[in-house]
């Protein structure tokens, strides 16, 4: 796709990312926040890939997605460990 179709798709994905960002701020549960953060990672990676329509753009999008997924998993793991340590004490 090119032209108006691309811009429309970028706008739709951008609106979804903004909606998910707001849901992340509103969410009460940490697990729910992690889910929304991961969904935001998908959306931002998609925006990068749609906006920079070159092979390098795809590499940037993939790198961003992998790095954000690893960091989300690390945060979730740390939160789980801290909860276990608090319970054991």
What are the tens digits of pLDDT across the range 74-86? 877 877 777 766 6
Q: Single out the residue of 43, 40, 48 nearest to residue 71, CA to CA.
A: 40
For 17-60, the pLDDT digits (tens) are: 999 999 999 988 877 887 888 888 888 888 888 888 888 888 88
pTM: 0.70
Q: Which two tokens stand for residue 48?
A: 């990068």
Asked if 68 contacts 27 with a C-beta cutoff of 8 angstroms, the reply is: no
User: pLDDT class for 71, splitting at 50, 70, 90?
Assistant: confident
Give 13's Cβ-side CA count (13 Å radius): 19
């Amino acid at each position: 796709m090119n032209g108006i179709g691309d811009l429309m798709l970028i706008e739709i994905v951008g609106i979804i990312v903004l909606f998910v960002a707001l849901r992340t701020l509103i969410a009460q549960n940490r697990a729910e926040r992690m889910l929304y953060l991961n969904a935001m990672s998908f959306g931002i990676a998609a925006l990068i890939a749609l906006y920079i329509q070159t092979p390098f753009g795809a590499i940037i999008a993939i790198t961003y997605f992998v790095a954000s997924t690893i960091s989300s998993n690390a945060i979730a793991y740390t939160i789980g460990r801290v909860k276990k340590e608090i319970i054991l004490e």
